[in-house]
């Protein structure tokens, strides 16, 4: 399972990082997505709901949901700042 996860991170994660660094509108979109995801993960933790993973017999524990929620909230703050508030200083030649 680990090789599939690493391959997915490389195939999906790297192009996503490239687009997020390059385009401000994409960072705005990611801010909204991370906000919703962190809220859902915290809800699963507070309601003590284990999440079954599709096509496997594995289950994500509520404690893991809390950790994922915290990480997604930090990513939300990062994308919020760089997507909405940060203005790069561009020199005009």
Domain boundaries, the chain: 2-84
**Which pLDDT band holds residue 91 (cuts at 50, 70, 90)?**
low
- Over residues 54-83, the mean pLDDT reads 93
φ and ψ of 48, to 5 deg = 60, 50
Q: pTM score > 0.75 for this model?
A: yes
CA-to-CA dists, residue 29 to 47, 72, 78, angstroms:
27, 14, 12
**Which pLDDT band holds residue 90 (cuts at 50, 70, 90)?**
low
How far is 74 from 5, CA to CA, in rounded Å?
22
- Read off the DSSP letter of residue 30: H
Percent of all residues in the chain with a pLDDT value above 90, rounded to a whole number: 53
Name residue 51's beta-bridge partners: 60
């Amino acid at each position: 399972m680990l090789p599939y996860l690493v391959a997915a991170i490389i195939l999906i994660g790297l192009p996503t990082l490239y687009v997020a660094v390059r385009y401000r509108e994409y960072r705005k979109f990611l801010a909204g997505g991370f906000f919703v995801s962190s809220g859902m993960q915290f809800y699963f933790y507070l309601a003590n709901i284990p999440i079954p993973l599709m096509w496997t017999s594995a289950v994500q524990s509520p404690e893991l949901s809390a950790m994922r929620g915290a990480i997604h909230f930090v990513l939300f703050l990062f994308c919020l700042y760089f997507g909405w508030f940060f203005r790069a200083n561009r020199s005009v030649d």
